[in-house]
Amino acid sequence: MLENIKKVLVSQEAIIERSKEIGAQISKDYADKMPVLVALLKGSVPFAAELMKYIDIDMEIEFMDVSSYEGTKSTGEIKIIKDLDRSIKDCDVIIVEDIVDTGKTLKTVKELLYSKGAKDVKVATLLDKKYGRVVDIEADYVGFDIPDEFVVGYGLDFNQKFRNLPFVGVLKEECYRSENE
């Protein structure tokens, strides 16, 4: 597995430290509320698990699966594979994402959660690829801004692999080049 990684972009230690900071900020911002974290499966699971440890106010966590990412390019089509199990009507929601690239996933999910009656929807993302953006949307809590490179690890996959790496790394191009040609 490690032989396919070109370099480590964000270390596990850095992710833990940044999660502590974001958790503290969310605890402050939502001091008089009870946020519902909506973690998007499967990529956000490690980050959501890390982040929630540092939120020291009452909160709940729910999961949704809306991914349609295939290979290394966004298809732009978003399927709801697993919907929420409960109502989020009048709730203060924080979507937890692994990475925002084009922003299409986030925009669609945000609109969907508002259409389900959420009072407010904010976004916490581990990684932000600002240069990949094609729709006008920004995350409210960002772990790390990263360059426009295909990354894996800490929940992020390439064809379902590499999610178990304890850091975020850049995948060697030869691993996916043949699929893009």
Residues annotated as part of the active site: 101
Q: Is 37 exposed, middle or buried (0-12, 13-18, 19+ CB in 10 A)?
A: buried
Q: How far is the CB of 156 from ligand IMP (least distance, A)?
A: 4
Q: Which of residues 134-163 bind ligand IMP (CB under 6 A)?
A: 150-152, 156
Is 151 strand, coil or helix? strand
**Which residue type sits at 52?**
M
Q: What phi and psi, each to the nearest 5 degrees, are found at residue 26?
A: -65, -40
74 binds ligand IMP (CB under 6 A): yes
Q: DSSP code of 172?
A: P
Residue linked to tokens 């990354």: 151
In whole angstroms, how close is the CB of 172 to ligand IMP at the nearest point? 13
Strand ranges, E, within 15-91: 36-40, 60-64
Number of amino acids touching ligand IMP (CB under 6 A): 18
Q: Which residue lies nearer to ligand IMP by CB, 11 or 102?
A: 102
- Judged by CB under 6 A, the chain residues 41 through 70 that form the site for ligand IMP are 43, 67, 69
Q: Which of residues 86-125 bind ligand IMP (CB under 6 A)?
A: 97-106
Report whether the peptide linkage leading into residue 89 is cis, meaning its omega lies within 30 degrees of zero: no
CB of 105 to ligand IMP, least distance (A): 3
Helix (H) and strand (E) counts for the chain? 4, 8
| Binding of ligand IMP by 4 (CB under 6 A) | no
Greatest extent of the chain over all pairs of C-alpha atoms, in Å: 52
Smallest gap, in angstroms, from Cβ of residue 168 to ligand IMP? 9
Using the minimum distance from each CB to ligand IMP, give the nearer residue, 50 or 97: 97
Shorter beta-carbon distance to ligand IMP: residue 33 or 122: 122
User: Which residues form the interface with ligand IMP (CB under 6 A)?
Assistant: 43, 67, 69, 74, 97-106, 150-152, 156
